Structure 1
Amino acid sequence: MISKDNLFAISLFPYLGFLWFISRVPQMPRLALYGFYGTLLFVGITIPAGIYAKITYGKSLANLDWLHGGAEVFLTLANILIVLGFHQAVKQLREKD
């Protein structure tokens, strides 16, 4: 059986492929694209934060609210960029009509 850590690591490859493809689509809203890249930044921050939580406190990241919340801020910001980017794109399309 595959461990959750290995599954997480393997899942990065399809996401990198997704980023590669959407970054080449001219219709892709730039702000939303930055949000999708921000999700990758969230992953990049969460991994060291999880290691720090385990080494320093002997706990998983999910059990340290202040550290977990700090990492989750990056996911929240990424999601906001995605929503604003697509909202802006829809608004521009409606204004064309």
Structure 2
Amino acid sequence: MTLLTQLGAVDPSALFVLSLFPYLAFLWWAWKSRRMPKLALWGFSFTLVFVFITIVAAIAAELLYGKQLADVDPLHGGAEVFLTISNLLVLLGFRSAGVNKS
């Protein structure tokens, strides 16, 4: 069995859950440091809403359609809207703080 085949057999769910811990640590530091524009910080925090909605949408896709979330366009697109909102909040937060002004 090749390494690539072995990696393909790994369930990524555990890695997804583990990835939340560094992100939560980043959010904790960002809120405590008060060095980040407030709107951008809310945008980074809103990413957790996107994660939650994505999990709910993935479960719904499986239960209702028997498919992965990526294969159910309305649910996938609906979940991605929350990532777009998060990204816009981060962008507007840093923009309003004068970061990257020419």
Q: Which has the higher contact order (CA 8 A, sep 6+)?
A: 1
- Hey, what does 1:27 align to over in structure 2? 35
- Percent identity for Structure 1 against Structure 2: 54
The gaps in structure 2 that reach 5 residues or longer are: 1-6
1:79 to 87, 94, 102: 87
Find the aligned partners of 1:46 and 1:26 in 2 and give their Cα distance: 29
Deviations 1:33-85 (A, max 9, x none): 00001111100110011011001100000001111000000000000000000
- Hey, what does 2:73 align to over in structure 1? 65
- Hey, what does 1:41 align to over in structure 2? 49
1:18 Cα deviation from its structure 2 partner = 0.5
Question: Cα RMSD (Å) of the superposition?
Answer: 1.4
1:7 Cα deviation from its structure 2 partner = 0.6
Residue 41 of structure 2 aligns to a residue whose secondary structure is helix
Q: Which amino acid aligns with 2:53?
A: I
Find the aligned partners of 1:12 and 1:3 in 2 and give their Cα distance: 16
2:64 to 56, 59, 67: 56
Q: Return structure 1 stretches of 4+ with deviation > 3 angstroms.
A: none
The gaps in structure 1 that reach 5 residues or longer are: none
